[in-house]
């Protein structure tokens, strides 16, 4: 078997991973995907993927300025480059980037974009849950792109979010601790006021 025949006929689809706005999150996604591939296909196998990790500070500035098109276009440009390189499916890994998922999806069609809410919703149904809690940055908790999509696509599922003051605290801990890789024991073990 030649090197070219392996490149021309991959044993799995080539993924483009968009997001992972912190390297800690990106590392988790990369590891989970590769461990799954290794478990399914053998000890020397790894995922065929491209990885784009956005700069969190830039993305937060674009979001805060209400520049949703510019925010989405960061991922659209990365996705186009990955498709040119052979990516066959895009996976949007950053939760807050899902607010731009529909725009990204339109711009990269016909390449499919996998939406995390669809997989989370399916897992909720599989486990038989009817009510689940959503914790994240305020835009994720308060926006419809995650909560609304799950409730719309998976009838009978209710996604609960904390009260406004709790949302503020969760958001603040994510922005100041989780995104910097310095998570306090209090945050890690969910001991909130």
193 domain residue, yes or no: no
93 domain residue, yes or no: yes
Provide the pLDDT for residue 134: 93
Provide the pLDDT for residue 2: 54
Packing angle, helices 68-85 and 56-64, rounded to 10 = 140
pLDDT surpasses 80 at 50:
yes
Average pLDDT in the 29-39 region? Answer: 93
R_g of the chain, CA atoms, integer Å: 18
* Whether 134 and 98 share a structural domain: no
* Whether 165 and 75 share a structural domain: no
110 domain residue, yes or no: yes
CATH no. for residue 73?
3.40.50.1860
* Whether 106 and 136 share a structural domain: no
* Whether 73 and 138 share a structural domain: no
43 domain residue, yes or no: yes
Q: Half-sphere exposure of residue 154, counting CA atoms within 13 Å on the CB side? A: 25
* Whether 29 and 122 share a structural domain: no
pLDDT surpasses 90 at 48:
yes
* 106-123 tens-digit pLDDT: 999 999 999 989 999 999
Domain stop point among 48, 79, 114: 114
Provide the pLDDT for residue 40: 93
Domain stop point among 52, 79, 114: 114
* Confidence grade of residue 6 (pLDDT, cut at 50, 70, 90): low
128 domain residue, yes or no: yes
Give me the domain span that covers residue 140: 117-188
152 domain residue, yes or no: yes
pLDDT surpasses 60 at 4:
no
Q: How many domains does the chain have?
A: 2
Average pLDDT in the 15-35 region? Answer: 86
* Confidence grade of residue 137 (pLDDT, cut at 50, 70, 90): confident
Name the more confident of 191 and 184.
184
* Whether 55 and 129 share a structural domain: no
pLDDT surpasses 60 at 9:
no
Provide the pLDDT for residue 10: 58
Average pLDDT in the 70-77 region? Answer: 94
179 domain residue, yes or no: yes
* Whether 60 and 95 share a structural domain: yes
* Whether 23 and 92 share a structural domain: yes
20 domain residue, yes or no: yes
Provide the pLDDT for residue 36: 94
Average pLDDT in the 135-161 region? Answer: 92
Residues 6+ apart with CB under 8 A from 22: 56, 178, 179, 181
Provide the pLDDT for residue 24: 79
* Whether 28 and 103 share a structural domain: yes
What letter would DSSP give residue 159?
A: E
Domain stop point among 90, 114, 138: 114
Tokens standing for residue 100: 């731009």
Provide the pLDDT for residue 175: 83
Do 147 and 155 touch, CB atoms closer than 8 A?
no
* Whether 48 and 126 share a structural domain: no
> Burial letters for 100-135: b for 16+ Cβ neighbours within 10 Å, e otherwise?
bbebbbebbeebebebbbeebbeebbeeeeeebebb
| Token pair 């849950």: residue | 129
Provide the pLDDT for residue 155: 93
* Whether 64 and 10 share a structural domain: yes
Provide the pLDDT for residue 183: 81
* Confidence grade of residue 148 (pLDDT, cut at 50, 70, 90): very high
* Whether 48 and 65 share a structural domain: yes
């Amino acid at each position: 078997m030649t090197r070219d025949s392996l490149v021309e006929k991959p044993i799995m689809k080539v993924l483009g991973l968009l997001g992972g706005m912190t390297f800690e999150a990106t590392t988790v996604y990369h590891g989970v995907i590769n461990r799954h591939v290794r478990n399914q296909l053998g000890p020397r196998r790894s995922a065929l993927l491209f990885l784009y990790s956005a700069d969190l500070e830039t993305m937060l500035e674009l979001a805060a300025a209400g520049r949703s098109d510019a925010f989405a276009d960061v991922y659209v440009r990365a996705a186009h480059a990955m498709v040119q390189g052979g990516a066959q499916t895009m996976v949007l890994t950053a939760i807050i980037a899902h607010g731009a998922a529909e725009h990204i999806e339109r711009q990269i069609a016909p390449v499919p974009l996998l939406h995390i809410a669809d997989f989370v919703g399916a897992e909720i149904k599989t486990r038989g849950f009817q009510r689940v809690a959503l914790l994240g940055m305020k835009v994720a908790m308060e926006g419809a792109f995650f909560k609304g999509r799950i409730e719309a696509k998976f009838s009978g599922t209710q996604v609960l979010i904390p009260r406004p003051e709790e949302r503020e605290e969760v958001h603040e801990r994510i922005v100041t601790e989780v995104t910097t890789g310095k998570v306090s024991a209090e945050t890690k073990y969910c001991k909130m006021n």
